[in-house]
Each structure stands twice: as structure tokens, then as C-alpha cells.
Amino acid sequence: MTSVSDKSVVKKSGGLGETISVIVQALLLALVIRTVLFQPFNIPSGSMRPTLLEGDYLFVSKFSYGFSKFSIPFAPDLFSGRIWGSEPQRGDVAVFRKPNDTSLDFIKRVVGLPGDRVQMRGGVLYINDVAVPRVKVGQINNPDITEVNRPVDVYRETLPNGVTYDTLDLTPNGLGDDTREFVVPAGNYFMMGDNRDNSADSRFDVGYVPFENFIGRANIIFFSIAGKASPLELWRWPSELRFDRLFHSVNGTSFTPKSQ
């Protein structure tokens, strides 16, 4: 019969080797989470206003669209295409690599699917020669949301699949308000910013976005701070933290205009 000793054996903890091991394990775990599950991103520009604001920090679901060579940070060009891929849906807010400069991450909304015909006419979005329903829901006069200190019209659009979201119309007859008709190639998507008059997107030099370039689907805002403040500037939190945006879903959320 084997007996268990009454004596407790105390293992000395610490040491350089153990410390290095813990650090390596933590880094590997973080890499797996970042590569396979969720990757944090921050919003540096106003191209997706009013849905996303500068100073928003959000998690992007990496598994929503499967994985490509762009899914692994700093990885070599291991393969082409996607594995375990689920196609983006119209209306998704997604992060992708800019086709003509894959060192840049962009975030826009999917409005055109492969084979779609997309055009802007007088500020109205047309998909396959049908106008996307667009209803004015109010005005806002808040530079933190509109980048101009004057009333700005807010329009709510409803895509053919029922997804609704809000857009800003900063100026009539904007540069992207009237475009040629774009025919989205197979395996590509047409992306647009919700801030229609201040967005570099598929209407311009971004062009069509290959499925391979998608990083993931924007999921939830986990932190948001105004005034170009850093999250590390804790003393600015009381005045700059946007409490009403914390833990809000990105997709399927419409903006409610309010004056400030």
C-alpha cells in the first residue's frame, strides 16, 4: 500500500527561469486571443461618425470572417485566401487592410456585396438601381460628433436586408454625393463610411476590398474618451469619459441626435 506523506513540500518560487516562462506563456496567450478571438482597435478619425467617434476603443471579432494572412500580426505571407471563412453581411462594420497599402487598417461599413451595382446620386445611396430608404431623424450641433460647430443633418438608412444605421450629411453636393456606378467584382466588397462627406472609402482611392483583406467584424465599444485624451490620463476621465458609449454594440446601433 502506498501512503501519502504528512510532510508538506514547499517549492521555492521565483527565479529568472520561472519569470521568463510566465512571461512567455502570457505573451503566447495574448497572441492566441488577438489572432483567433478578439483584437482591440481604437478609432483615430471621424469617417464613421456618428456610429464611431474618435477616442472609441472597440473589440473586433477575428473569427467572424475566418482567418487570412492578415489575421496574424507581423506574420509572413503564409497563405492566400481565407480559412473557415464566413462572408461579410451587408451593413457590417468591419476592419480591413487597405488594398493598395496593406500596412493600414481601415474601418468602414459593408454596403456592396460581390456582383452589386453601387452608386451615389444626389447624396442618396443606390444599390442595384434601387434607392436605399433614407429618413432625416434630426440635427446635431456638437463638434465632438460632427467636427463642425453648426447644425448637421442626421439621416437613418435602411439597407435591403433590414440593417439600419445613421449617417451624417455635413454639406450638400459633397465630393462623394454623385458618383459613377460601381460594379463590385466577385470576391470583393464595397465599403463606405457613415460620415459620407468625410470618408476615404470605396468611392475613392480605397476601391473594392478583397475578402482576404478583412480583419474582423467590429463588435463592442469597451472604452471611449473625448478631447483627444489618452486612456492613461486618468485625471481627465471625469470630464472626458463617454460613459454612455461604454459596452455598446457597434453593429445594429443607431445614433440618437442631441444638441450640446
Residue 207 lies inside a defined structural domain of this protein: yes
For 134, 140, 168, 250, the CA distances from 137, given in Å and listed in that order, are: 9, 10, 11, 19
- What is the tens place of the pLDDT at every residue in 66-91? 888 887 765 566 667 787 778 999 99
Domain containing residue 212: CATH number: 2.10.109.10
User: In this predicted model, which residue has the larger pLDDT, 21 or 147?
Assistant: 147
pLDDT, position 144:
80
Residue 29 lies inside a defined structural domain of this protein: no
If you average pLDDT over every residue of the chain, what do you get?
A: 85
Domain that holds residue 233: 40-75+82-249
Residue 63 lies inside a defined structural domain of this protein: yes
Residue 249 pLDDT > 70, yes or no? Answer: yes
- What is the tens place of the pLDDT at every residue in 208-230? 999 999 999 999 999 999 988 88
pLDDT, position 141:
87
Residue 14 lies inside a defined structural domain of this protein: no
User: In this predicted model, which residue has the larger pLDDT, 122 or 11?
Assistant: 122
Q: Residue type for 100, please?
A: N
pLDDT, position 259:
40
Tell me how many domains the chain contains.
1
User: In this predicted model, which residue has the larger pLDDT, 8 or 223?
Assistant: 223
Question: Strand pairing partners for 125?
Answer: 120
Residue 15 lies inside a defined structural domain of this protein: no
- What is the tens place of the pLDDT at every residue in 15-72? 677 777 666 666 665 565 555 567 889 999 999 999 999 999 999 998 889 888 887 7
Say if residues 144 and 85 touch (Cβ distance below 8 Å). Answer: no
The string of DSSP letters for 123-190 reads TEEEETTEEPPEEEEEEE--HHHHSSSS-EEEEEEE-TTS-EEEEEE-STT-TTSS-PPEEPPTTEEE
- What is the tens place of the pLDDT at every residue in 123-141? 999 999 999 999 999 999 8
Residues with catalytic function: 47, 108
- Angle, vertex CA 237, rays to CA 232 and CA 239, nearest 5: 145
